[in-house]
């Protein structure tokens, strides 16, 4: 079996090493060769990721037989994206194994395939809850008077005069306007 390892963390202060070691150990126990390792440091909600894009290219070229990741949420959090990837894995004869969740989508394991679909739905549900909590927190902060966005710069009388001069045609180009406003 030609195995591909996929690891992902969300932030730069996290390391993919624990995931990689667990997956390499799994391959060694199974007697599989690791054809490639793909790693990303980016949110799982992002559809485009360098490592994932390279992994999908290898799937399409049929360079691997099985993809290993620690948990399903390392691969992605949105149901449509995960469903699309799993369909593509199936189309190209590639199995997905999530070692920490006992998910195995190979042809020999129909129960694993069922559990995987349930977990995909749960991952999407969890992501929706996180979004909902974030929006609620923003609403509470706004109600408390917290200001979001760039701070508003006060408009001086000099700025008003320069803009008026621009409107009257005394300043003809945007370049002249920018120079007059010192920006």
From CA 88, how far away is CA 80, in angstroms rounded?
A: 12
How far apart, in whole angstroms, are the C-alpha atoms of residue 66 and residue 86? Answer: 12
Per the CB < 8 A criterion, the answer to whether 97 and 64 are in contact is: no
Range list of H helices, 8-109: 17-30, 50-60, 72-75, 79-91
Tell me whether residue 10 is one of the annotated catalytic residues: yes
Q: Which residues neighbour 3 within 8 Å (Cβ) at sequence distance 6 or greater? A: 27, 32, 33, 34, 35, 64, 65, 66, 67, 68
Of 10, 78, 106, 165, which is the active-site residue?
10
Q: Which residues are catalytic?
A: 10
């Amino acid at each position: 079996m030609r195995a591909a390892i996929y690891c992902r963390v969300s932030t730069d202060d996290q390391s993919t090493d624990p995931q990689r070691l667990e997956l390499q150990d799994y391959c060694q126990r199974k007697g599989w060769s690791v054809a490639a390792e793909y790693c990303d440091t980016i949110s799982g909600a992002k559809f485009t990721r360098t490592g994932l894009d390279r992994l999908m290219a290898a799937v399409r070229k049929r360079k691997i037989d099985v993809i290993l990741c620690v948990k399903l949420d390392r691969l992605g959090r949105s149901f449509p994206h995960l469903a699309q990837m799993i369909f593509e894995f199936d189309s190209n004869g590639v199995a997905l194994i999530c070692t920490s969740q006992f998910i195995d989508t190979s042809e020999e394991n129909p129960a694993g395939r069922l559990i995987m679909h349930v977990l995909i739905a749960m991952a999407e549900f969890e992501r929706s809850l996180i979004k909902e909590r974030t929006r609620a927190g923003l609403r509470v902060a706004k109600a408390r008077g917290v200001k979001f966005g760039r701070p508003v710069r006060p408009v001086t009388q000099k700025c008003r005069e320069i803009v008026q001069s621009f409107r009257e045609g005394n300043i003809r180009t945007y370049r002249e306007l920018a120079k007059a406003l010192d920006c």
